[in-house]
Amino acid sequence: MSSIKIECVITERYRIGESPVWDEREGMLVYVDIAGQKVCRWNPNSNEIQSVSLEETVSAVALRKSGDYVVATGTTFAALNWKDKSVTPLARVDEDKPNNRFNDGKVDPAGRFFAGTMAKEIRPAVVERNQGSLFTLYKDHSVVKHFDMVDISNGLDWSLDQKAMFYIDSLSYKVDALDYDVKTGKTSNRRQVYKLQQDEGLPDGMCIDTEGKLWVTCNNGGRVIRIDPQAGTVIQTVKLPVDKVTSCGFGGKDYSELYVTSASDGMDEAWKARQPQAGGIFKITGLGVKGIPPTAFAG
Ligand SMILES: O=C(O)[C@H](O)[C@@H](O)[C@H](O)[C@H](O)CO
Ligand SMILES: [Zn+2]
């Protein structure tokens, strides 16, 4: 009998919940509502939610070594000071593409903040194609572009041996791998790891576990799939009570809890009535695996 338990721990109806990151320093889950333009923190002990509103979409949040957070907001990498709610730009990208925005991002094992862009959506998953790119913000706040011709830059994570980066461009319906040099942050040799099946929906956010397997959220597929990147196969599927699951990240005191964000944008009233928890955040326990503590941005 599976001991897997799925609990909706945050019942807010966020427009596009995303980027769940466990902040061990605060004992809180940090995440964003992209279209709601806010960064939030949830305290599991008090169930209190704090939030900071921004001027533009905010699509990724990460811990910062010097304290507080870095975010990908609009097409700007920025520092977020939680206490005074200030947002300090660190670097801008896609200045020649005024209709672009950042999407998903994460800090690599060496403390560099990777994040990708996309054209702003006309409606969920409907975008002008090939407008996005993948960027890295280095410790000195310089920026490198890895590649362009991206549709919806999404989930990313790094292999446990730090020799590969896993990457999702959602409209390819694939999970890719690239060679990755942890000393320089450079990537190369992009190839397919897994092509999603029709019923699995759109690959969105992603995280790796301590066994080197990938947990991929399937937007519109209402599930998270666990993929063996070596074999290119799905080894586990966990279905959720909402269709639009957007991202996932491990947390809790021993990183054994998988937090899954979701969206409600694009759902009509009947759909929302069928899925009252859409836009909420779920905690999945009993998976029998743990996650990797997030790395903080070094700059
Ligand atoms: O969650 C994300 O990464 C995107 O920012 C969303 O806007 C998705 O593209 C959309 O939810 C797909 O239906
Ligand atoms: Zn996403």
Q: What is the DSSP string of 32-65?
A: EETTTTEEEEEETTTTEEEEEE-SS-EEEEEEBT
- Measured CA distances, 139 to 66, 90, 118 (Å): 11, 10, 24
Going from N- to C-terminal start, the domains of the chain cover 5-285
d(CA 31, CA 34): 9
- For ligand 1, say whether the CB of 117 is within 6 Å of any of its atoms: no
Q: Which atom of ligand 1 is nearest to the CA of 104?
A: 3
Q: Quick one: pLDDT band at residue 1, thresholds 50, 70, 90?
A: low
In the prediction, which pLDDT does 2 show?
77
Asked whether residue 199 is marked as a ligand-binding residue, the answer is no
Q: Is the model's pLDDT at 282 over the cut of 90? A: yes
Q: Return the structure tokens found at 173.
A: 């319906």
Asked whether residue 103 is marked as a ligand-binding residue, the answer is yes
Closest ligand to the CA of 132: 1
- For ligand 1, say whether the CB of 154 is within 6 Å of any of its atoms: yes
Q: Is the pTM for the entire model greater than 0.95?
A: yes
Residue nearest to atom 5 of ligand 1 (CA): 103
> What DSSP element (H or E) covers 272?
helix 269-274
Q: What is the CA(69)–ligand 2 centre distance, in A?
A: 19
Closest ligand to the CA of 244: 1
**pLDDT, tens digit (0-9, with 9 covering 90-100), for 135-177:** 999 999 999 999 999 999 999 999 999 999 999 999 999 999 9
Q: Which atom of ligand 1 is nearest to the CA of 204?
A: 3
CA contacts within 13 A on the Cβ side of 221: 23
Q: What is the CA(287)–ligand 1 centre distance, in A?
A: 26
Closest CA to 264 of 4, 15, 12, 9: 15
Proportion of the chain above pLDDT 90, given as a percent: 99
Dihedral over alpha carbons 151, 156, 162, 164 (to 10 degrees)? -40
Q: Which atom of ligand 1 is nearest to the CA of 152?
A: 9
d(CA 52, CA 29): 14
CA contacts within 13 A on the Cβ side of 153: 32
Residue from 103, 168, 200, 243 whose mutation best tests the ligand 1 pocket (most atoms within 8 A of CB): 103
Catalytic residue among 204, 209, 243, 265: 204
Active site residue 204: yes
Residues β-bridged to residue 202:
219
Q: Quick one: pLDDT band at residue 56, thresholds 50, 70, 90?
A: very high
Closest ligand to the CA of 16: 1
Q: Which atom of ligand 1 is nearest to the CA of 266?
A: 13
Q: What are the backbone dihedrals phi and psi of residue 275, each rounded to the nearest 5 degrees, phi first?
A: -130, 75
In the prediction, which pLDDT does 108 show?
99
* CATH number attached to the domain at 5-285: 2.120.10.30
